[in-house]
Every structure is written in structure tokens, then in C-alpha cells.
Amino acid sequence: MPVILGLSAAALQAQTAARGMVDVHVHYNGQKSFLEQMLARLDKHDGMAFLLTPPQNLDEVAAFLKEHPQRFTGFGSIRLDDPDAVAQVDRFQKAGFRGLGEMSGPLKNYDDKSYWPIYERAQQYGMILLFHTGIVMRPNPETPSDISVDRMRPTTLDNIARQFPKLTIIGAHLGNPDYAWAAEIARWNPNIYFDLSGSTLIKLQENYQIFKSLFWWSSIVSPHTPKSSASAFEKIVFGSDVFGGEIEEFDREIDRYKKMLDSCGVSPQAQANIFGGTMRKILAKQ
Ligand SMILES: [Zn+2]
């Protein structure tokens, strides 16, 4: 392998892939020190993070976003069942937030019509929506909670995407373990993407080739496959799911993504889109 300025070609390529990265899934933990640490991480990669912000932290995060518009984009973590949800969407939008999420734990299926006024408003604002999909943790097993993974299946995003074609939708965790459904609804809906955060890339680490059969339609000529020159893998976007300030997960998740994408032979151009190019294009359009 040729060596350029002391770096192997592969290492150089890996570095370029991460430049301009976008992490679509970073939870704000309410601590200013976390924002500063995340900023330093992002500086290293010339990157940007979607900062998922509960309503009670809106003001402090809005101020921080204004100081670092190149590094952070705000997402409002509303609860779909909150009677005040539509008004909260307005408040987040006025404060400069570009998206909503991570939505999780709904009392009804994500595509229930009672949530449509929220999606309608988000669409008016050209927002990006991040939904938790698939299995979810149960942090307090002793406390009864009205939560069901069945209401957060990736297939519940399909109807939202079709009803609100100007919304951009990201499903978190590739619907773990409903991968096949997640990939197929992404194939047909140009406004749906998925991140691979969570346990999926750990669970499948001995078997990354499985992703080739999930994202199977690159350059396939078939009357029932939407025409595109893009790699099927470009329905994936990068998300780390940094949570509770555990910032090391950001680095670990970059490594896992790279290992999986390299082992599936995904081209450097497609990887650059997955790591940030796709989301930067969408943000620039809105
Ligand atoms: Zn999640």
C-alpha cells in the first residue's frame, strides 16, 4: 500500500471520510460542561451534532447554538402525547431549532392520526424528525410504565413519510431487531433514513455481511426498485446516541460504522454521505 506523508492510503481515506461529519443523535444531559466537551470532539472532525434537547433546557441550549452554529443544530425532544406539543414545536422553531426528537415512548403508534397536527406543523417548518425505533431499555423495572416497543416499530414511520412528503424522517437504531422492515421502508421512501446507533453494530460484529442483504438494491435493475445511482447504504446516516454525557461512545460508534461499511465494501463517496454529506445537503435545502 502506498504511503503518503507518513499515512497509509487507507488511513488517509478514513480521515477524509470523517471530515464534515454530522452526528444525528446526541442527547443533551443538561450540563454545560458536556456541551464544551462535545464541541472539542466535533472540532476535531470539522463536525456537527444534532443536539436533542428537552423543553426545560430550551433557553440554555438556544444560547449555545447561537455561539456555535457550525457545530450544533438543535432538535426539540418533545413528547408526542403532551397536550402542549404543537405549541412546543413553535417555541423550538422560533428559538432556531431545525428538528424534533428523539421521539420515544408514545401512548399510541407513531402514525396515529392524533399526532398529525404535530407532523403538519413540523413539515411547515421544514424540520427533520428523529424517532426511536425498535427495542427500548427499561431503566426502572419496579415502576409501572405505559411503554411498548410495538408502538415504535419502524413500519409506523411509513405512513408518516407518505402523508408528509416534505418531512425528513430519521429512524434511530434501524428498528432493532426489525432491520429488514426498516431497510425496505427506507428503500421506497426518499424522505426516510436510519441511524445504526445502539446495540446493533455490537450484536452483529461477527456478521457485518448481513448488511449487504438488508441494503441490497445498489445498481439493481428491476421494475420495482426506485432508480438511483446512490449506494443502497446511503439510506444510513451516522448517529452515536451519546447519552448521559458518555462522550466516548461517539468515538466508538465512528469505529463500528467504519468497520461495518469497510467490510461491506461501501465506497468512500458513499461513506462520506453516510457520515455527513447527506444530512448537510438536506440542511442546506431547508
Ligand atoms: Zn433511541
Give a yes or no: residue 223 inside a domain: yes
Between the CA of 3 and the centroid of ligand 1 the distance, in Å, is 40
Which grid cell is 98?
431545525
Sign of the alpha-carbon dihedral angle for 193, 107, 126, 53: negative
Instruction: Tell me the C-alpha distance between 191 and 148, whole Å.
Output: 25
Between the CA of 139 and the centroid of ligand 1 the distance, in Å, is 13
Between the CA of 132 and the centroid of ligand 1 the distance, in Å, is 4
Backbone angles phi, psi at 20, to 5 degrees: 70, 25
Give a yes or no: residue 205 inside a domain: yes
Between the CA of 9 and the centroid of ligand 1 the distance, in Å, is 35
Between the CA of 104 and the centroid of ligand 1 the distance, in Å, is 7
Are the C-beta atoms of residues 275 and 257 closer than 8 Å to each other? yes
- SS3 call for 23: strand
The per-residue DSSP string of 213-227 comes to HHS--TT---TTS--
- Max Cα separation, the chain? 61
**pLDDT tens profile 124-173:** 999 999 999 999 999 999 999 999 999 999 999 999 999 999 999 999 99
Placement of cell 426498516 in the chain: 182
Count other Cβ atoms within 10 Å, centred on residue 228: 14
Give a yes or no: residue 140 inside a domain: no
Between the CA of 157 and the centroid of ligand 1 the distance, in Å, is 14
Give a yes or no: residue 199 inside a domain: yes
Give a yes or no: residue 139 inside a domain: no
Closest CA to 273 of 285, 260, 261: 261
Between the CA of 84 and the centroid of ligand 1 the distance, in Å, is 22
Domain count, the chain: 1
- Provide the pLDDT for residue 3: 43
Instruction: Tell me the C-alpha distance between 130 and 160, whole Å.
Output: 12
Placement of cell 426545560 in the chain: 56
Instruction: Tell me the C-alpha distance between 57 and 31, whole Å.
Output: 10
Which grid cell is 103?
421521539
Between the CA of 172 and the centroid of ligand 1 the distance, in Å, is 6
Q: Residues in the chain with pLDDT < 70?
A: 1-18, 221, 223-227
Instruction: Tell me the C-alpha distance between 119 and 16, whole Å.
Output: 36
Give a yes or no: residue 81 inside a domain: yes
Between the CA of 72 and the centroid of ligand 1 the distance, in Å, is 19
| Residue 7 belongs to domain spanning | 3-134+145-285
Give a yes or no: residue 73 inside a domain: yes
Between the CA of 254 and the centroid of ligand 1 the distance, in Å, is 17
Instruction: Tell me the C-alpha distance between 146 and 168, whole Å.
Output: 28
Between the CA of 227 and the centroid of ligand 1 the distance, in Å, is 31
Give a yes or no: residue 197 inside a domain: yes
Between the CA of 197 and the centroid of ligand 1 the distance, in Å, is 8
**pLDDT tens profile 38-60:** 999 999 999 999 999 999 999 99
- Provide the pLDDT for residue 201: 98
- Provide the pLDDT for residue 17: 47
The per-residue DSSP string of 62-123 comes to HHHHHH-TTTEEEEE---TT-TTHHHHHHHHHHTT--EEEEE---SS-TT-GGGHHHHHHHH
Between the CA of 59 and the centroid of ligand 1 the distance, in Å, is 23
Between the CA of 38 and the centroid of ligand 1 the distance, in Å, is 19
Between the CA of 229 and the centroid of ligand 1 the distance, in Å, is 30
Between the CA of 160 and the centroid of ligand 1 the distance, in Å, is 18
CATH number of the domain residue 46 falls in:
3.20.20.140
Count other Cβ atoms within 10 Å, centred on residue 277: 19
- Provide the pLDDT for residue 18: 63
- Record the pTM: 0.92
Please name every residue paired with 27 in a beta bridge, in sequence order, or none if there are none: 52
